[in-house]
Amino acid sequence: MSISVIKKRDGRIVPFDMKKISDAIEKSFRADTEQNERQAIADQLAWEVTTLLEQAGNPAPAVERIQDMVEQVLMNHGYHAAAKRFILYRQARTDARNRSEQGTGTVVLEPWEPTLTGQAVAICAAIRNNGGADRLLGFYESIAPAAEETVNGFYASALRTVLALKTGCEVSGQTLKSIHLAVKAAGGSLVGPERENYLTRQADLLCGTLGCAGEPVREAQLAALEIADRETAGAVRQTLRCLHSRGCTREMIAPPESRTPAVELVQRCEE
């Protein structure tokens, strides 16, 4: 399904222009590469973003969804510095809109930012723009999906390395991602009670794909999980320290209405 229009934040429907995506990506690379090189990379990544959006089946994606996809593609290709600059640029635009609205009082967060780094920037900006919040609503609901994605990211990176060491088999990032999506679609998750189901299904697919014995794969999974859990806890705590440094105390964060596995993950990291 091709995309011809997008939905702006104010609800307007405007023509889709892939060049605007390319231009935004190119700006995020300006500190890293020469002009010709970064433009070629930006054009290629913009095409990938557009393809993924088309595969999602939404004929009129929202601006926020397009920005989410840009960040995801940058991270998937290992352009972490560029992704961080894109996040900060995106937040600067959000800050400007918040200041124009002159909001005060309670801060309500939306779960739009897919990374913990982005969440920390967004939450601190919300507190700063409101002169300190009486109550920080939506914190858990906002940060929980980011925490879950952080677990997945650390786990996938560690698993590729540990698998090669323990089994001698190498798996590409794309293959691992495809297996992850298949396991997730079947109800598996690395967060909450579905973790064992995730590991079992993933191990079956890995063994079938790589031709490796089950026990070394299982050992690699457990080693990767230990790394992912430790790094995720550190990332969540860093986000909380960022909040505290901007004047947000623990009492300002409203408790969640429902305790999902991802919310429980964040709460465990707080302890």
Number of domains the chain contains: 2
Cα gap 264→165, rounded to integer Å: 32
Which of 5-9, 21-25, 199-203 is predicted least confidently? Answer: 5-9
**65, 86, 107: which is the final residue of a domain?**
86
Instruction: Report pLDDT for 48.
Output: 92
**53, 86, 119: which is the final residue of a domain?**
86
Q: Is residue 3 part of a domain?
A: yes
Q: Is residue 190 part of a domain?
A: yes
Q: Are the beta carbons of 5 and 15 closer than 8 angstroms?
A: yes
47: pLDDT strictly greater than 90: yes
Average pLDDT of the segment spanning 193-197: 90
Per DSSP, the three-state class of 118 is helix
What is the domain extent for residue 41?
1-86
Q: Are residues 72 and 151 in the same domain?
A: no
Single-letter residue type at 124: C
Q: Are residues 77 and 157 in the same domain?
A: no
Q: Which residues neighbour 145 within 8 Å (Cβ) at sequence distance 6 or greater?
A: 111, 114, 262
Q: Is residue 57 part of a domain?
A: yes
Instruction: Report pLDDT for 112.
Output: 44
Q: Is residue 164 part of a domain?
A: yes
Cα gap 10→243, rounded to integer Å: 29
Q: Is residue 54 part of a domain?
A: yes
Q: Which string of b and e fits 185-208 if b means at least 16 CB within 10 Å?
A: eeebbbbeebeeebbebbbebbbe
Q: Is residue 248 part of a domain?
A: no
Give Rg (Cα) of the chain.
Answer: 20
Q: Is residue 151 part of a domain?
A: yes
Q: Are residues 151 and 81 in the same domain?
A: no
Q: Are the beta carbons of 266 and 151 closer than 8 angstroms?
A: no
Instruction: Report pLDDT for 33.
Output: 59
Q: Is residue 58 part of a domain?
A: yes
87: pLDDT strictly greater than 50: yes
Cα gap 236→258, rounded to integer Å: 19
Average pLDDT of the segment spanning 29-47: 78
